[in-house]
Structure 1
Amino acid sequence: MGADSVAPQPQFQVLGPFEVRVHDEVLDLGGPRIRTLLALLTANAGRVTTVGTMVEALWGPESPPDAHRTVRSYVSRLRRALAVDQLIVTHPAGYVLRLEPHVVDARRFERLVETGRDALAAGRPADAAERLTLALRLWRGEAYGEFSVTPVLRAEAARLEGLRLGAVEDRVDADLATGAGVTLVEELTALTGQHPGRERLWGQLMTALYRAGRQAEALDAYLRARTALIERFGLEPSPRLSEIHQQVLDNDARLFGVPAAEPSEPARDDLPGDIADFAGRDAELATLATARAAGRHAVVIQAIDGMAGVGKTTLVVHAAHRFAEHYRDRLFIDLHGHASSHRPVTAMTALDSLLRALGVPPDRIPQDPDARAALWRAELATRSVLVVLDNAADAAQVRPLLPGTSRSLTLITSRRRLVDLDATQVVSLDVLPEADAVALFVSVAGDRTEGSVHEVVALCGHLPLAIRIAAARLRARPAWTVGYLAKRLRQAHSPLTEFEAGDRSVAAAFALSYEHLHAPQRRLFRLLGIHPGPDFDAYAAAALAAVDLPEAERLLEGLVDDHLLQEPAPGRYRFHDLVRQHAHAVAVTDEPEPLRHKALRRVVDYYLHTAHNGSRLLDRQHPPIAVEAADCVPHPMLDSAAAMAWFDANHRNVLAARTAAEDAGWDTVVWQLAWSLDNFHYRRGHLHDNIASWQVGLVAAERLGDLAVQARAHRRLGLVYAPLGRDEEALLHLRQSLALSGQVGDTLGQAGAHVVLALALTWKKDDHGVLAHLTEARNLYRRSGNTQWEVRVLSMMGAAYTRLGHHVRARALCESALALCLRHNDLYGQADTLDSLGAITGNTGDHRQALHHYERALALWRGLDNTYRQAGTLAALGDTHRELGEVDQAKQCWREAIELYRGQNLHHAADRIAQRSG
């Protein structure tokens, strides 16, 4: 490829064998699992595919222990193979494949089908047939090919197959509308044989046969259809198929396309005006359009839900105007499900208004609720009507208003998830993607959009209502700039007050949702507003509200259904930023300060107790601390893998809990949280977070006057500063730790200080000093009877001796240490010792044996999920492969080490390896 070439855009083909093409050449993606992974991302393009879903797709219920890491490795390989920046984007819950619709043949197919159906509905059958034929030509075989049997892709393949068959039926309708008959008989005969349950195909076959002058065969087709329906499905033919049968018997001219007469009464159009500055929502509009087009042959009910201010009514009104030409009557009613000045409209009142809108005289409208609903359905059966039911309170309110036949389209909006409503499709609106959010701001604000538009829409949380208000305020104030508006939003003491203009207010919209909650939900909502971290689970919510776990789960799910909480991953919850601000404001206003203080202490104690339990699972050698009993139930964890998973999910929350404890003056909790995070921070290489934790932990210990804890804090700070190259700071802290441990008679603390001093001197390449401190540490551990830590010291001594050239002595020490670690099942000690043995054998020229030791160590580090030590061992493996002349293997190990170090924000370590790999 030339230097000035533009990277080609991959084309994704799923309507047949799964392929990705570049310049019409099939891209080699690798093995079946990587191909399965990309097929799954493609089926879910534009949405988050969780790592758990990927693991299930690749391995099923029997996934290997390192499946999540393997998935991440596969994604890295896919990124390299696709060679397009930001095509696969990392998300906290998994990954998102960002594809433009035109690069996926399935999306092009759906768009062509939609335009074909629109043309057919608009009375342009020739155009419809052309579009639908083009759509069907995109198919090369079964959707997703060999992956169509993969459980997580089966539903998508079946959906596309259903759309294909529907498109075939639509194309036949288009051909029939242009007068075709005899040319369709052979095709329809085959199709009815393949799909005997599709009555529409039987009706089309009967019509085609009749037009071909084969009336008897048309009647015989009806008998075959009836037999198939009864024997296979236990069903009699539908009224429509029976009607075609009667038309064949009657030689009805309508079988040749003569239209029925339209109703003579005037049409009704109650839709509010369309939104002139509408922006975005292309995917949602496409979903609504696809369902509407299919609605010529099925009842279509679309429910659109979402949080306050997300633009539900705006979307529905815009969509209704786009679809209006396909319906004779267009009705709109506000059900006032969430309104401050109106009670929710009852179904009886809504039916009365809707029936009158269709011209039904008042004296014909029954007083019985069931009879009134039945009359409404009967009226819709004879009409083509688009009905918008805006702002529904719940499913019970709208259920009597739903049609019973296929000629109408019903669009419903609600702030609640109408999970118990039999809707054709439910669309849950999220906030706008950044590009659409910027487009909306620009369309409202006009030309004055220089500067920090991206920052403004981010401060608006990408919420359409907030964006509209902010843009309208900018447009109304000529002296303001976008930068000034961003500064106001950024520095506002109460940010929600900035999102008010006229009768529009984000806070007021949120307040209506809050007021419609029942009392326990309101209490949990406002208490969650003081939760210190970015997200939470049911255990944290239970601690915060002092309720049991089932009650917390029930309340959380209710808040999700009301779109006051988001659930980005199963069992994990978070606020939209503006909703969080509202929840906090409500907590300050409605929850007494002493109760807020108790709630915050409960949830901080929950994070402390769970983190401490998890830290003990990560390393039993880590000395325990005395954590006070708390009014909370810690998250249950069975093993170190569960502990790491909890820490990974809650790391930011525990750090936030530490900050909350610091602000509240809970000094004991501050240093105990630093201690409880220490093991996890070390395993993940979060050295900078560990420094921050122990710095505040040290200050807290000094306020408490606790010399033993001060010694511990100095020791841990020294351990973290040394590998960061901050040698003098490390040695200063370690000498203070040693002095304080001696002052309080802490033998183990003194030994630990000597061990960490040895590590610090290792970085300074002072191996004689290293051995001096390790010898002192070994003597102290022996005196205290701590055999396992003495064993780990032996391994470190072996590493120091080999660096000094005493390889025989070094190997003897490390082999003794390894034997003792195996006897005590000390996995950490085994891995550490194997690393030392790898260095020893490598220094003596036995690089194959070194490779063996490093590979065993790496397997143990991976089993322990210690990404920090994995990176170091991978770097040593790369060096060993290089010594053996295995350049490709060396580079692969170095690449993995660099990726791990950069993921831990340890760029200096990554840079050292990058220089090594050249």
Structure 2
Amino acid sequence: MDDPGHRPEFRVLGPFEVRVHDRPLELGGPRIRTLLALLVAHGGRVTAVSALADALWGMDAPPDTHRTVRTYMSRVRRSLAPVATALGAPDLLVTHATGYALRLSPDVLDSREFERLVADARETAADPVTASAKLSRALALWRGDAYEDFAGIPALLAETRRLHGLRLGAIEDRVDADLASGAGEALIGELTALSEQHPGHERLWGQLMTALYRAGRQADALDAFTRARAVLVEEFGLDPSPRLTEIHRRVLDNDPRLLPAGSGPAHPVAERATATAVRNDLPGDIADFAGREAELARLLAVRAGVARTAPTAVVIEAIDGMAGIGKTTLAIHAAHRLAGDYPDARLFLDLHGHTSGQPPVTPAAALDTLLRALGVPAEKIPHDADARAALWRAELAGRSALVVLDNAADAAQVRPLLPGSPGTLLLITSRRRLLDLEPARVLSLDVLPEADAIALFTGIVADDRLADDPDGVREVVELCGHLPLAIRIAAARLRSRPVWTVRHLAGRLRQATRPLAELSAGDRSVAAAFALSYRQLDPARQRMFRLLGLNPGPDVDVPAAAALAGTTAAEAERLLESLVDDHLLQQPVTGRFRFHDLVRQHARTTALAEEPEPARRAALRRLVGFHLHTGHRGSRLLDRQHPPIDVGEPPAGCVPAPLADDAAAMSWFDVNHECVLAARQAAEDAGWDTSVWQLAWTLDNFHYRRGYLQANITSWLAGLAAAERLRDVAVRARAHRRLGLVYGPFGKPAEALHHLNRSLVLTGEIGDTLGQAGVHFVLALHWINEKDDERALGHATSALELYRALGDPKWEARAFSMIGACQSRLGRHREARAQAEAGLALCREREDVYGEADALDSLATIARESGHHGDALGRSREALALWRHLDNTYRQAGTLAAIGDAHRALDECDRARDAWHQAIELYRAHNLHPAADEIEKRSADLGLVRPAEDP
């Protein structure tokens, strides 16, 4: 524009208005203004029509809301026409398939200008006068509360709170700059009002205490601390932080460091004391410290280590872990325990590697602070960073010093601060693993064990409510993920609310729509701690973090993560490993990655807020496709006899995992079973019905081998519902048949028969001969289980005839074995043996290992029924070897039960007991308790119950 002084302005830092040529623009009625405010708040991102409608009407939306919203948006476009003309833009309002976005340059929005000025001021923090001027200019843009006209609009609440938080942070930064410039008494009135308005902000209390002390009002400064502590305890359930406690101690000690630079000490006694006292910057110790015995023991063992290594080495301990894990707490606690061994200095410096609203301290600035702490006059500190580092090493030479560097951003920030001579212990804390800090020993913290988590919680609450409900306490710390910060906040909330019970707190955490919102007290928040870690990632890692929050499974491997992000496996592995180093992701075993439960919640919330809906949907499509296509290949490897289904091509960006053979397939399913189940549920939730039934088919062979009957029932019920929605009769018939196969062994014969009869009818309707043969085969199994061998024989014979008509010898062979088993139970042993041996020969000829094992089981049954128990035992052992080769634990259990029967018939009771016990364990492992109970009853009737401890 030719005249930037008259550019259009969108003002949200007060009453909402749009100005053109320095005059307010007439925008229209309240709903038009609300729609425009929402678009402005969303900062160029697309706002869905449904979100706009919800903001206008909530639950009282009129019919055809989408059309009504479009009408209003046309009025918004007309209202903004003068702005577009002034900016030389054809249109500011952009229409998308799902909603609308407002295309604005940042320089026309006062909130963006405010944020820019604040960021610029923080870059000049080393010059407090300049920083204060810039911050004052930024704060002058505020004319009231942000979006003042829209206090009742929930959709604007998050942006309003964000802007108010930034405003308060800028005020605090400006006060710090004023204090650094020498101000004191002039700030008291402003800080008194601010501390009353924001009683949970300890930084304001500390600034007020400093200003009062500088004004010569030491007693008032101490009284301010008393009021701050009372408010923090009573209203927020928090003790004063170590930083505020340290200011209090300095006021008590008349510490000259509270005075402006260059001022004399507050009291002559303080000057003499300062000249002789040991420098001790450590914050106060943690009164309710709990757990960490092993970690603390390692740090305290430094005493012995120093005695051995002092002649040659500096001792450096780098403590890392996720946000809220208790790194600083442990470092301070250990430092106090070790302080007596370091008589020359005990220094503490927050490097602000992860501090909201503050950039990390530069190495040069950190060295300046540390050198001053050692008594080096300001005029003797070099300007050059390397020269400062050399002076720091020289000043430490010959001293016995303990230095705590808290909240390091990375190794590059810390490396210039490393001492060069023995006698110094350096404790460093960081959210990132400082693996490239070569001299350091790394101590990575995990969440607390249950006993320590409970001890921390009970130590903070410290009242009788806990003794009445130990299970509730256990549930609370579990819901907090055993994370110390979360436990501290939950305990503080309970302590500050005497009418709450432990069970009530657990219920709030368990039932909250956004559980992380419950883990917030005052200015302490688990979500805020995670958000800081997230914001310091580069865009690629941020995107991977967000997308992992959409993963419905319990964990993820590299190929699945690559599919989720639509990237290569190499890039996915790089990003995953980097997130592990940032302690935003865990790696419980090599190659698999998972979130801490609370971090998972934060990742999902972040994805919903920042990842566009089409991108979220595409990512989930790729992940579901990955599990479908990998699982489909695996299922085909497990049983090549079944005809495959057509699953099409994988989605773009999805590369299925390679599986070499059936062993690799079983291994993949074993590790990824819960993930595939979660993918099926996600497909069901998304309405992808074809994927739902295809995933049920994909899991079927694995479920049968492992005896996961309940999981198979759940999958096929979902598959049947999906097929009904698709009106696909063939898939409905298949789903009914598989449900009929599973319900029988699960102890529900009526349900099994219902599904099999439905499948028989449906296959007849569509002329599916192969499907009909399969139903008859399963019906034969059903009637065998129901002890009706005549019916079983009839269905087995029908299956054989249909398989012969189709020219399907592999299933013809399995039908032979089935017929043999039925005839044997009917007393036709010779005919039965001939049928089963014919089936066995055909299976061996066609290398059908599954069918061969099945035939051997049938021959064992025939031998047992005809009284040839030695032959039965031999056949069962052959079958067991094949079931183990196939890794089919479900069929192993049945064969082991038969082996036990054979041993019992041969009066080999100990061997019978062992075989039955193995069968029972396998059945119990797969929740097949009716089958296990039957074997236990059999053994109990014969006095062969296995003792609890078998020698």
Same fold (TM over 0.5): yes
Name stretches of at least 5 consecutive residues in structure 2 with no aligned partner: 1-274, 941-951
Q: In structure 2, how many angstroms separate the alpha carbons of the residues matched to 1:312 and 1:430?
A: 10
- Quote the residue 1:880 is aligned against: 902
| Structure 1 pair 734–266 and aligned structure 2 pair: CA distance change class (3 A) | same
Compute the displacement of 1:895 (Å): 1.7
- Quote the residue 2:316 is aligned against: 301
- Quote the residue 1:369 is aligned against: 385
- Quote the residue 2:432 is aligned against: 416
Q: In structure 2, how many angstroms separate the alpha carbons of the residues matched to 1:618 and 1:312?
A: 48
| Structure 1 pair 269–762 and aligned structure 2 pair: CA distance change class (3 A) | same
| Structure 1 pair 614–397 and aligned structure 2 pair: CA distance change class (3 A) | same
Residue of 321, 332, 337 corresponding to 2:353: 337
Q: Secondary structure of the residue that 2:503 maps to in structure 1?
A: helix
Q: Secondary structure of the residue that 2:744 maps to in structure 1?
A: helix
- Quote the residue 1:617 is aligned against: 637
Q: In structure 2, how many angstroms separate the alpha carbons of the residues matched to 1:900 and 1:323?
A: 54
**1:480 matches 2:534:** no
Code of the residue aligned with 2:348 in structure 1: it is F
Q: In structure 2, how many angstroms separate the alpha carbons of the residues matched to 1:408 and 1:841?
A: 81
Residue of 775, 783, 787 corresponding to 1:765: 787
Q: Secondary structure of the residue that 1:724 maps to in structure 2?
A: coil
Compute the displacement of 1:381 (Å): 3.1
- Quote the residue 2:186 is aligned against: none
| Structure 1 pair 401–799 and aligned structure 2 pair: CA distance change class (3 A) | same
**1:532 matches 2:552:** yes
* Aligned residues: CA RMSD: 1.6
- Quote the residue 1:321 is aligned against: 336
Indicate if the aligned counterparts of 1:456 and 1:486 stay in contact, CA closer than 8 A: yes
Q: In structure 1, how many angstroms separate the alpha carbons of the residues matched to 2:305 and 2:378?
A: 34
Q: Percent same amino acid among aligned pairs?
A: 66
Residue of 569, 581, 586 corresponding to 2:606: 586
Indicate if the aligned counterparts of 1:296 and 1:406 stay in contact, CA closer than 8 A: no
Q: In structure 2, how many angstroms separate the alpha carbons of the residues matched to 1:403 and 1:803?
A: 86
**1:458 matches 2:469:** no
Indicate if the aligned counterparts of 1:292 and 1:300 stay in contact, CA closer than 8 A: no
Q: How does 1:176-325 map to 2 (within 5 A)?
A: 266-298=277-309, 299-325=314-340
Q: In structure 1, how many angstroms separate the alpha carbons of the residues matched to 2:528 and 2:821?
A: 66
Q: In structure 2, how many angstroms separate the alpha carbons of the residues matched to 1:607 and 1:649?
A: 12
Compute the displacement of 1:713 (Å): 0.5
Name stretches of at least 5 consecutive residues in structure 1 with no aligned partner: 1-263
Q: Secondary structure of the residue that 2:346 maps to in structure 1?
A: strand
Q: In structure 1, how many angstroms separate the alpha carbons of the residues matched to 2:607 and 2:348?
A: 37
Deviation string, structure 1 residues 150-176 (Cα, Å, up to 9, x no partner): xxxxxxxxxxxxxxxxxxxxxxxxxxx
| Structure 1 pair 811–291 and aligned structure 2 pair: CA distance change class (3 A) | farther
Q: Secondary structure of the residue that 1:297 maps to in structure 2?
A: helix
Indicate if the aligned counterparts of 2:303 and 2:341 stay in contact, CA closer than 8 A: no
Indicate if the aligned counterparts of 2:520 and 2:526 stay in contact, CA closer than 8 A: yes
**1:382 matches 2:398:** yes
Compute the displacement of 1:392 (Å): 0.7
Code of the residue aligned with 2:832 in structure 1: it is A
Compute the displacement of 1:348 (Å): 1.7
Q: In structure 1, how many angstroms separate the alpha carbons of the residues matched to 2:387 and 2:916?
A: 75
Code of the residue aligned with 2:422 in structure 1: it is S
Residue of 903, 909, 913 corresponding to 1:891: 913
Indicate if the aligned counterparts of 2:829 and 2:862 stay in contact, CA closer than 8 A: yes
Q: In structure 1, how many angstroms separate the alpha carbons of the residues matched to 2:500 and 2:682?
A: 37
**1:724 matches 2:746:** yes
Code of the residue aligned with 1:276 in structure 2: it is A
Deviation string, structure 1 residues 215-261 (Cα, Å, up to 9, x no partner): xxxxxxxxxxxxxxxxxxxxxxxxxxxxxxxxxxxxxxxxxxxxxxx
Code of the residue aligned with 1:394 in structure 2: it is D
Q: In structure 2, how many angstroms separate the alpha carbons of the residues matched to 1:333 and 1:500?
A: 26
TM, length-normalised to structure 1: 0.70
- Quote the residue 2:53 is aligned against: none
| Structure 1 pair 405–861 and aligned structure 2 pair: CA distance change class (3 A) | farther
Q: In structure 1, how many angstroms separate the alpha carbons of the residues matched to 2:428 and 2:493?
A: 31
Compute the displacement of 1:366 (Å): 3.5
Q: In structure 1, how many angstroms separate the alpha carbons of the residues matched to 2:570 and 2:643?
A: 34
Q: In structure 1, how many angstroms separate the alpha carbons of the residues matched to 2:774 and 2:480?
A: 50
Residue of 415, 419, 436 corresponding to 1:403: 419
Higher mean alpha-carbon deviation, 622-631 vs 386-395, is at 622-631
**1:360 matches 2:376:** yes
Residue of 757, 764, 778 corresponding to 2:800: 778
Higher mean alpha-carbon deviation, 279-288 vs 351-360, is at 351-360
Q: How does 1:465-864 map to 2 (within 5 A)?
A: 465-631=485-651, 632-864=654-886
- Quote the residue 2:39 is aligned against: none
Indicate if the aligned counterparts of 1:799 and 1:839 stay in contact, CA closer than 8 A: yes
| Structure 1 pair 878–423 and aligned structure 2 pair: CA distance change class (3 A) | farther
Indicate if the aligned counterparts of 1:875 and 1:893 stay in contact, CA closer than 8 A: yes
Indicate if the aligned counterparts of 2:321 and 2:444 stay in contact, CA closer than 8 A: yes
Q: In structure 2, how many angstroms separate the alpha carbons of the residues matched to 1:330 and 1:901?
A: 62
Q: In structure 2, how many angstroms separate the alpha carbons of the residues matched to 1:423 and 1:856?
A: 60
Q: Secondary structure of the residue that 1:409 maps to in structure 2?
A: strand
Code of the residue aligned with 1:404 in structure 2: it is G
Indicate if the aligned counterparts of 1:534 and 1:653 stay in contact, CA closer than 8 A: yes
Code of the residue aligned with 1:714 in structure 2: it is H
- Rg larger in structure: 2
Q: Secondary structure of the residue that 2:325 maps to in structure 1?
A: coil
Q: In structure 2, how many angstroms separate the alpha carbons of the residues matched to 1:364 and 1:570?
A: 52
Q: In structure 2, how many angstroms separate the alpha carbons of the residues matched to 1:292 and 1:684?
A: 54
Indicate if the aligned counterparts of 2:317 and 2:443 stay in contact, CA closer than 8 A: yes
Indicate if the aligned counterparts of 1:303 and 1:423 stay in contact, CA closer than 8 A: no
Q: In structure 1, how many angstroms separate the alpha carbons of the residues matched to 2:706 and 2:442?
A: 41
TM, length-normalised to structure 2: 0.68
Compute the displacement of 1:292 (Å): 4.3
Indicate if the aligned counterparts of 2:354 and 2:532 stay in contact, CA closer than 8 A: yes
Higher mean alpha-carbon deviation, 748-757 vs 397-406, is at 397-406
Q: In structure 2, how many angstroms separate the alpha carbons of the residues matched to 1:892 and 1:420?
A: 55
Deviation string, structure 1 residues 632-687 (Cα, Å, up to 9, x no partner): 11111001111111111111111111111111111111111111110011111110
| Structure 1 pair 735–605 and aligned structure 2 pair: CA distance change class (3 A) | same
Q: Secondary structure of the residue that 2:556 maps to in structure 1?
A: coil
Q: Secondary structure of the residue that 1:412 maps to in structure 2?
A: strand
**1:916 matches 2:938:** yes
Code of the residue aligned with 1:418 in structure 2: it is L
Aligned residue pairs: how many? 656
Code of the residue aligned with 2:522 in structure 1: it is G
Indicate if the aligned counterparts of 1:751 and 1:776 stay in contact, CA closer than 8 A: yes
Indicate if the aligned counterparts of 1:297 and 1:406 stay in contact, CA closer than 8 A: no
- Structure 1 runs (4+) deviating above 6 angstroms are none
Higher mean alpha-carbon deviation, 711-720 vs 320-329, is at 320-329
Q: Secondary structure of the residue that 1:621 maps to in structure 2?
A: coil
**1:348 matches 2:364:** yes
Q: How does 1:66-81 map to 2 (within 5 A)?
A: none
Q: In structure 1, how many angstroms separate the alpha carbons of the residues matched to 2:726 and 2:372?
A: 76
| Structure 1 pair 846–300 and aligned structure 2 pair: CA distance change class (3 A) | farther
Higher mean alpha-carbon deviation, 714-723 vs 285-294, is at 285-294
Q: Secondary structure of the residue that 2:745 maps to in structure 1?
A: helix
Code of the residue aligned with 1:271 in structure 2: it is L
Q: In structure 1, how many angstroms separate the alpha carbons of the residues matched to 2:298 and 2:866?
A: 67
Q: In structure 2, how many angstroms separate the alpha carbons of the residues matched to 1:721 and 1:856?
A: 28
